[in-house]
Structure 1
Amino acid sequence: MFQKRLTMGVDIVVVSVSKHLAGHNDVVAGAVISSKDVMKKIFDKEYTLLGASMSPHDATLVRGLIQV
């Protein structure tokens, strides 16, 4: 549970925000975490083509996010 997967050599970590951060069955969301270089490649190709983003209302329902 408290493993730091990126420091263990994993390139991309996918987290279920619905289960771990929201937990109230009112949001369907996920998070992709990686290094800056990998995220740049994902943003330039997949994100701009698929446009997967959360609505502002759904973002307010996620109760476990802390801005760093």
Structure 2
Amino acid sequence: ICLAVGFESLGSFSTLFRNVVGWSPSIYRARVWEQRRNPYKFIPGCMRTMFGITSAAQERNFQEASTEQPC
């Protein structure tokens, strides 16, 4: 990405990125992927409740039954 936007050095791009965004490029990328996988995690619970947003985990009443036999 750094070469595509005009930088000749990965180090100079990473330093400027960290100064502007506040995170290194790798941490930023990890947060973006986490937001895509679990968007409800980044919305405060009070806002989810106020707007009636529920996650799939909140809609389940029961856990899956275990297939293991008790000892």
Same fold (TM over 0.5): no
The TM-score normalised by the length of structure 1 is: 0.25
- Higher helix proportion, which one? 2
Larger Rg: 2
Greater relative contact order, per chain length (Cα 8 Å cut-off, separation 6+): 1
- Normalised to the residue count of structure 2, the TM-score between the two structures is 0.25
> Between Structure 1 and Structure 2, which shows a larger proportion of strand residues?
1
